[in-house]
């Protein structure tokens, strides 16, 4: 096995596939990156058994072959050689000799036979969407993915695809908040209802460049995203997602129309003191055409007034400020609606028009 390639291209490829190297793996082989060179290309693959990433780059191949290199060590070494043309050659001791300029290094490799076999995903069923829309769909909801190991399905993002309506819906729930986003599809070959690990979906959309379309293939218990020279395969989460539709109320006693930027900035300022008190509690007092935000701590207090449009009853209700700012940062609309019923029932945040997103936040009992 012997090949030559550009140091920067190799470093970038290692950075991409390293997303699939497990941080807490008990198997040394899963810390490796598989290298396969043939037909003037180098294919790098990494997997943590849940997500697999394969990246192909150009290479001058003198003799084909394959091996597995220690992923992080190889990546750190190659990052120092981004301005170099690199030649890699595997010797009889399963060591990779790395030559560049007038220098060289040597890295002990692992047994390629031990590297997991990546199952192929059939390309029969898929949905197609603009990359920008898919990014928005995931980034709108990923902050609400649960971190609790006790309910594995809530560590995922539910994707609901309707072939008839040509729509896709993403949903995440962590027990204190719910986030939901809707987008149009270019097409879908079938209806799908799948749960994908949230952290992996976030990494997948980070790899998407440009504003062309992407096909997401669904087969058995996997999805595959083909980005041309990068292919990502991800295992789905088994189980039944919660019936989120029953959680979201549709009739409200209080509805507030408010400038999103003003609300976000006011909560940011009000939460400075609430963070000091470690409760992140911000109180919303809604009366007539004013929303008053207050926060109190042992060392001080703050009050913010915002003019709003109010339909319905006055209301006093308190929230964890972080939960509010997390969802507001994903919203691009100038104005949003805050819909509520009482101080102990959730607030539902929606756009003033349309249904691009729905965010639900549980209130906190004020002390």
Residue at a domain's end among 93, 114, 135: 114
Instruction: Provide the pLDDT for residue 289.
Output: 92
Question: For residue 119, is it within any domain?
Answer: no
Please enumerate, as own/partner, the contacts of 259-264 that have beta carbons within 8 Å and a separation of 24 or more: 259/306, 259/334, 259/335, 260/328, 260/331, 260/333, 260/334, 260/335, 260/336, 261/334, 262/306, 263/291, 263/306, 263/324, 263/328, 263/336, 264/325, 264/328, 264/329
**Does 67 reside within a domain?**
yes
Report yes or no: 329 and 261 within 8 Å, Cβ to Cβ: no
Q: What's the confidence (pLDDT) of residue 275?
A: 66
Average confidence (pLDDT) over 223-230: 95
Q: Is the pLDDT of residue 367 over 70?
A: no
| pLDDT, position 277 | 60
**What is the per-residue pLDDT across 2-35, written as a single tens digit (0 to 9) for each?**
999 999 999 999 999 999 997 777 789 999 999 9
Domain end: 88, 114, 140, which one?
114
User: CA-CA distance, 133 to 301, in Å (whole number)?
Assistant: 41
Q: What is the 3-state secondary structure (H, E, C) of 214-261?
A: EEEEEECCEEEEECCCEEEEEECCCCCCCCHHHCCCCCCCEEEEEEHH
Are residues 156 and 105 located together in one domain of the fold?
no
Q: Is residue 31 part of a domain?
A: yes
Structural domain tally of the chain? 3
β-bridge partners, 169 = 160, 182
* For residues 234-244, average pLDDT: 95
The total of other beta-carbon atoms located within 10 Å of residue 317's CB is: 21
Q: Which domain holds residue 138?
A: 126-245
The verdict on residue 257 lying in a domain is: yes
367 inside domain: no
**H helices present in the chain, as ranges:** 7-17, 71-79, 131-139, 198-206, 260-276, 321-328
Q: Say if 366 falls within a structural domain.
A: no
Identify the band that residue 149 occupies on the pLDDT scale cut at 50, 70 and 90.
confident
* Tokens at 254, concatenated: 């209080």
Which residue did the predictor score with more confidence, 114 or 274?
Answer: 114
Do both 168 and 229 map to the same domain?
A: yes
Give the C-alpha separation, 226 to 127, whole Å.
Answer: 12
333-360 confidence digits (pLDDT tens): 999 999 999 999 999 999 999 999 999 9
Q: Please state the rounded mean pLDDT for residues 47-72.
A: 96
Residue 21: predicted pLDDT: 92
Q: What is the largest distance, in Å, between two alpha-carbon atoms of the chain?
A: 81
**For position 18, what pLDDT does the model report?**
96
Specify whether 142 is located in the same domain as 93: no
Q: Is 195 exposed, middle or buried (0-12, 13-18, 19+ CB in 10 A)?
A: buried
Average pLDDT, the chain: 94
Distance CA 87, CA 44 (A): 16
In a domain, residue 120? The reply is no
Mean pLDDT of 272-282: 72
CB neighbour class for 99 (10 Å; exposed up to 12, middle 13-18, buried from 19): middle
Domain holding 24: CATH number?
3.10.150.10
Contact 200, 51 (CB under 8 A): yes
Instruction: Decide which of 74, 90, 114 is a domain's last residue.
Output: 114
Task: With a cut of 90, say whether residue 62 has pLDDT above it.
Answer: yes
Whose tokens are 């980070």? That residue is 206
257 lies in the same domain as 286 = yes
Residues 241-266, mean pLDDT to the nearest whole number: 96
Q: What is the pLDDT of residues 307-340, one digit of tens each?
A: 999 999 999 999 999 999 999 999 999 999 999 9
Q: Is residue 327 part of a domain?
A: yes
Over residues 78-82, mean pLDDT: 95
The Cα 342–Cα 349 span in angstroms is 15
Q: Supply the pLDDT for residue 74.
A: 97
* Same domain (yes/no): 258, 349: yes
């Amino acid at each position: 096995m012997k090949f030559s390639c550009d140091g920067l291209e190799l470093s970038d490829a290692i950075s991409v596939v390293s997303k699939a190297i497990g941080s807490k793996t008990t198997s040394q082989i899963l810390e490796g990156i598989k290298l396969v060179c043939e037909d003037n290309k180098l294919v790098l693959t990494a997997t943590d058994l849940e997500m697999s990433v394969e990246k192909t780059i150009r290479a001058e191949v003198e003799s084909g072959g394959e091996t597995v290199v220690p992923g992080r060590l190889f990546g750190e070494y190659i990052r120092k050689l981004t301005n170099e043309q690199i030649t890699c050659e595997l010797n009889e001791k399963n060591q990779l000799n790395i030559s560049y300029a007038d220098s060289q290094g040597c890295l002990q490799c692992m047994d390629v036979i031990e590297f997991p076999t990546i199952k192929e995903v059939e390309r029969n069923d898929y949905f197609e969407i603009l990359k920008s829309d898919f990014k928005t769909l995931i980034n709108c909801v990923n902050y609400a993915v649960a971190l609790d190991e006790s309910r594995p399905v809530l560590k995922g993002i539910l994707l609901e695809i309707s072939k008839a309506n040509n729509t896709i819906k993403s949903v995440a729930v962590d027990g204190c908040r719910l986030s939901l986003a809707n987008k149009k599809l270019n097409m879908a070959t079938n209806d799908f209802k799948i749960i994908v690990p949230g952290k992996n979906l976030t990494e997948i959309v980070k790899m998407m460049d440009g504003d062309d379309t992407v096909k997401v293939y669904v087969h058995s218990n996997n999805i595959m995203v083909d980005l041309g020279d990068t292919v990502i395969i991800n295992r789905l989460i088994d189980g039944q997602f919660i019936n989120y539709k029953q959680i979201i109320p549709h009739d409200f006693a209080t509805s507030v129309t408010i400038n999103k930027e003003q609300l976000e900035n006011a909560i940011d300022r009000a939460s400075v003191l609430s963070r000091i008190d470690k409760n992140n509690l911000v109180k919303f007092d809604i009366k007539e055409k004013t929303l008053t935000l207050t926060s109190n701590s042992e060392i001080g207090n703050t009050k913010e007034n915002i003019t709003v449009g109010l339909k319905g009853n006055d209301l006093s209700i308190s929230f964890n400020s972080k939960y509010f700012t997390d969802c507001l940062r994903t919203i691009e609309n100038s104005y949003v609606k805050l819909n509520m019923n009482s101080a102990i029932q959730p607030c539902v945040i929606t756009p003033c028009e349309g249904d691009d997103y729905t965010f639900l936040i549980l209130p906190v009992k004020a002390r």
